[in-house]
Structures are given as C-alpha cells and as structure tokens.
Amino acid sequence: MSMQLDFNIQFLPDGGVVSAKGFLAGSARGEIKTHGDDVALIVSENPAIAAAVFTRNLVKAAPVLVCAEHAQSTQARAIIINAGNANCCTGEQGIRDARKMCELAATRLNCDDREVLVCSTGIIGHALSMNKIESALSQLEYSDDAAQNEKVARAVMTTDTRPKFCAASTSIDGKTVTVGGFIKGVGMIGPDMGALIPSTPHATLLCVLTTDAQFEKQALQSELENIVERTFNSVTVDGDTSTNDTAILLANGASGVLINSENSAQFRALLENVCTHLAREVARDGEGATKIITIKVLRARDESDAKKVAMTIANSPLVKTALFGNDPNWGRIAAAAGRSGANFDAQNLQIKLGDVEVFKNGEPTDFDLTQAEAVLKNEEVEIEVSLGAGGNVWTAWTCDFSYDYVKINAEYHT
C-alpha cells in the first residue's frame, strides 16, 4: 500500500500483540476445544485505554454484551479469550459466566473486573465450563517473549488452518510507535461491526490489537471505527455475520507519543496497514479456500456505492464458485454489481480480471479466454470494476467457494 512508502512503515518479523511496548500475553489449555491451548490472556503492564467494535447481529453472545459494557470504563488492563465455545444463546447463565471470566482474570492480575475485556468463539448454544477456564488460568504464564505472538494467535483458533498475527512500526515525533495484533476467523465471516452501547451479540472474527501510542479515549474509538470499516468490515468468506464478532484496540502510551491532530495521519496509516494485512489473511484462510480474491471498485458516485458493489460481488456464491473453477464468467460479476443497489449506468461499466479486460461500455471485449483462465489459476486474483459514475473507490477481500467449504460446514457441529 502507498501508506507504507509515505510514512516508512516497517513490518516486524514474527510481530504480534506483544510487539508494542508494555504488553504481555500467554495461553494455556482448558480442554474446551479438542486439542491445543484454548484460553488466551493479553495484559498491559500499565493501565491502558480500550476502543472496541462489536457485531451488529441482533443475536449477541454473552461476552459481547459484557465486553461492550467494560469497554466503556476509563481504563483497561487485560483481555481474556476462550476458543471452542461461543457462550452464545446461553441465557442469564452465559452473562454470569462471561462476568466470571473477567473476575478470574482480574483476580490473577489484582485489578478491577471492569478492567478486563472478554471474548469467546466456538460452538453456539452450549454452556461454558468455568472450571475449565479457571484451570487454564491457573497454568497460564504470560510474558513479552516474541514467541507469545504466535502462541496466543494459535490458542484462539477454531477452524482456522494457521495462526494470523503481525506487527508494524513507524517513527512519529522522533519516537518509534508500534501496532501489533492477531485475528482469527475463516468461516461465518461477513463482519458488520460498530460501536455497541449495552443499554441499547461457531467460527467468528475476533481481533486484538495493541499499541504503545498514547490516546484520548474518544479519539482512539474513532480511529478504530474508521479503520475497521475499511478493513475487517470489507472482508467476507460467506457473508454470515457472527454473533461474536469483536475487534479491540488497547493503547497504553508506553512509547511516550501522544497522537493528536498533527500526527494522527501517521498513526492511521500504521493501524490501517496492520488491519489490512490481518483482513487479507482471513480471506486467504477462508474455509476450503484455494485463492484470495481482491475486488477493487473504481469511479463510483460515492464510497457507499463503491462498497455496495465490492461487497455484493465478494459475497456472490455464483462469482465465488466460478472463481474456484477458474471460469472467467464476467456476467456473474456484472449481475452482482447491478443488483448491489449502487447508482451507475451499465453502459459505463468496465470489468477486468487481473490485466485482462473482459467487459467494457456495456458489452464483452474480444478477450483471450486462455489468458483470462490463466489469471484465475493464481493463488491471488484481482477483479477490477469501474462504474464510470464518479471518483470514489473501495477494496474488498474474499475467497473462492470450494467443495471443502461445504464439507467443513456440514460437519462442523459434530
């Protein structure tokens, strides 16, 4: 991305949630999922502030409601996450269990329960054993060792095939500022996340981000919401918005750099680069995926129209199955754009598969079929759609639909 050049952003080898100064992490096994660690703890050595966005699904898991409540607190110390059980549709007991998870972590850290945020992912509708959570926490050791970046990212996996984590740094006001994080999710991925005020939610997208920048709380929340819209809310595997989708950003100020109106663009570029990398990894690791698809919509009337077209194409089963079969069926792409609700003249529509222009000015081009098929055989495929209606753009990421996607989801509960 151009921002990397503009602000000299450097990705860190094996970077993750403990790459930013003052953050620790660890994981342990509570036997909630069938194998491996399944409880993770991310800790800020000093009180941090938290920004968070949550699923807009009306069916919200207990940890989403409790986490949203605690995220309103003036400071945060830790995030506790379990995998293997979503603690969703579990009634009042689920709420009590989510609060209990915060209490157990707070006791371990000698802080207030409200300073702990909580997330869960896994099967919906099953009670979550607090004995298993407590057992894992009693074994869990946390540190700032770089090995913890992969360890905690792996602990929160469900049907993911690999851990997804990264970190990047840049110089702001002469000091190094770092953003690190991990993400999980490969199915039930069609995030629609935003701020959630509690008085007013299986596989899931969960993301934890850390930074050593210093922020005012409302400014941090605003930065996260804006970046999530362009990254995590623009990635889809199957269009299914989870009951547990959550993204959290902790800022502890350990770098000594206060983010303000003069340097906020530098931090925004840093955060967007990290989130874009993580979003792409979700699409790349989509259930049964054989390729990652980038969809760029150009020349839209406004950003809303650009995103409508990008996400409608990205969520189209007909487009995604054609891509699995390496079939340059541009008609499915044109049809998806047309039903997206965006306002454009079909006579101005242009479609490219990689460098191959397949549709222009309302009719197909005389493109080379073999060349177009060759483009679609790559592990990374780019679709470019120009609407000819304005100057706005949007990028979305998805993957193809393979036979394995059906198999994985047909057998998931058992």
Q: Are strands 292-300 and 246-251 parallel, antiparallel or unpaired?
A: unpaired
Query: Please, is 10 exposed, middle or buried when counting C-beta atoms within 10 Å of its C-beta (0-12, 13-18, 19+)?
Result: middle
Active site residues: 204
At 103, phi and psi to the nearest 5?
-65, -45
At 160, phi and psi to the nearest 5?
-55, 145
SS (H, E, C) 369-384: HHHHHHHHCCCEEEEE
User: Residue 100: beta bridge partners?
Assistant: none
The alpha carbon of 104 is separated from its chain's Cα centroid by a whole number of angstroms, namely: 27
| Element containing residue 131 per DSSP (H, E) | helix 130-139
Expressed in percent and rounded to 5, the helix, strand and coil fractions of the chain are 35, 30, 40
Tell me the residue ranges of DSSP E strands in 258-410: 292-300, 350-353, 356-360, 363-364, 380-386, 392-399
Q: What is the CA radius of gyration of the chain?
A: 21
In angstroms, the CA 103 to CA 105 distance is 5
The alpha carbon of 236 is separated from its chain's Cα centroid by a whole number of angstroms, namely: 10
Strand, coil or helix: what is 300? strand
In angstroms, the CA 140 to CA 142 distance is 7
Q: Which DSSP state fits 12?
A: P
SS (H, E, C) 175-208: EEEEEEEEEECCCCCCCCEECCCCCCCCCCCEEE
| Element containing residue 278 per DSSP (H, E) | helix 264-284
In angstroms, the CA 161 to CA 301 distance is 39
User: Residue 140: beta bridge partners?
Assistant: none
In angstroms, the CA 69 to CA 79 distance is 13
